Structure 1
Amino acid sequence: MGTKEAGHMSTASSEGERDKPHKFPPSPLIAHSSVQKWKPPDHGLVKINCDGARFAKENKAGIGVVIRNSEGMVLGSLSKQLSQAFSPL
């Protein structure tokens, strides 16, 4: 098995090549950046956004909901922590 050091990898495929470093081309860095701006619903409609998160170590989860009209005004919201989220009923 080889060891990796600063972009080089030493391999032990044969005795003579054990100390020969093999250079690999650098991997391209790919940045994924997407900024999403909230868009209001059409006039006369409401938009309901929701999200959730889970915390397995604590056996908990949480949810959040926001309801907005076409002007962006909050009509209602909810957040709730759910205990024993991963336990059988």
Structure 2
Amino acid sequence: MHREVKQQNSNRPEGRTAVATSNQVWQPPEWPMFKVNVDAAFDKSLNRMGMGIIVRDSEGKIQACLTAPKEWVFSAAQAERAALQRAMFMCFEMGMHQVIFEGDAKVVIDAINSKEMDSSWHGQETEDLQQWMAAHPFWRLFFVYRSANQAAHAAAKEAIKDSCENFG
């Protein structure tokens, strides 16, 4: 989170800092879109993550929910990319063509939306997600503050304790 705020602030004029608005609330998508909220929880001491994925329709009704743990994860950014990749694959499996993805990992979302090559150690993961987005022209990816991503965040925190993927 600190890196996200630092990155966000680096694009601002001297002396201005970003203030996380905690009053942003979740809004349903317009019909016929689906909104998919994604989040990851990361435990550095265990190199383990949990992911929470919530799919809602234009009336705000939950259409699907997925929680899953994952081992051998070494950074919060890697966890966020893994959660987003699973969300995209889930939407593909469900035949969803008009999707708005929302997450609170600004650095990850900005990297995917930038369309620029990522030469970092895990750059291939970013490029894979960019390709998923390019292959689905009616999919959109947006950053939201955690206050608008609470359900996915709570699901991710619980998923880190799970032993297997749960879908409902």
Bin of the TM-score, shorter chain as denominator length: 0.5 to 0.7
Give 5+ residue unaligned stretches, structure 2.
Answer: 1-18, 75-168
Q: CA–CA distance in 1 between the matches of 2:27 and 2:51?
A: 21
Q: Which of the pair has more CA radius of gyration?
A: 1
Q: Which residue of 1 aligns with 2:45?
A: 57
Aligned residue for 1:54, secondary structure, equals: strand
Question: After TM superposition, where is structure 1 displaced by more than 4 Å over at least 4 residues in a row?
Answer: none
Across the aligned residues of Structure 1 and Structure 2, the Cα RMSD in angstroms comes to: 1.6
Give 5+ residue unaligned stretches, structure 1.
Answer: 1-30
The yes-or-no answer on 1:34 pairing with 2:22 is yes
Higher relative contact order (CA 8 A, sep 6+): 2
The yes-or-no answer on 1:72 pairing with 2:60 is yes
Cα drift, residue 84 of structure 1 = 2.4
Once the two structures are superposed, what CA deviation does each residue of 1:20-54 show, in whole Å capped at 9, x if it has no partner?
xxxxxxxxxxx865222110000111001000111
The yes-or-no answer on 1:45 pairing with 2:11 is no
Q: How many residues align?
A: 56
TM-score, normalised by the number of residues in structure 1: 0.56
Structure having the higher helix fraction is 2
Aligned identity (percent) is: 32
TM-score, normalised by the number of residues in structure 2: 0.31
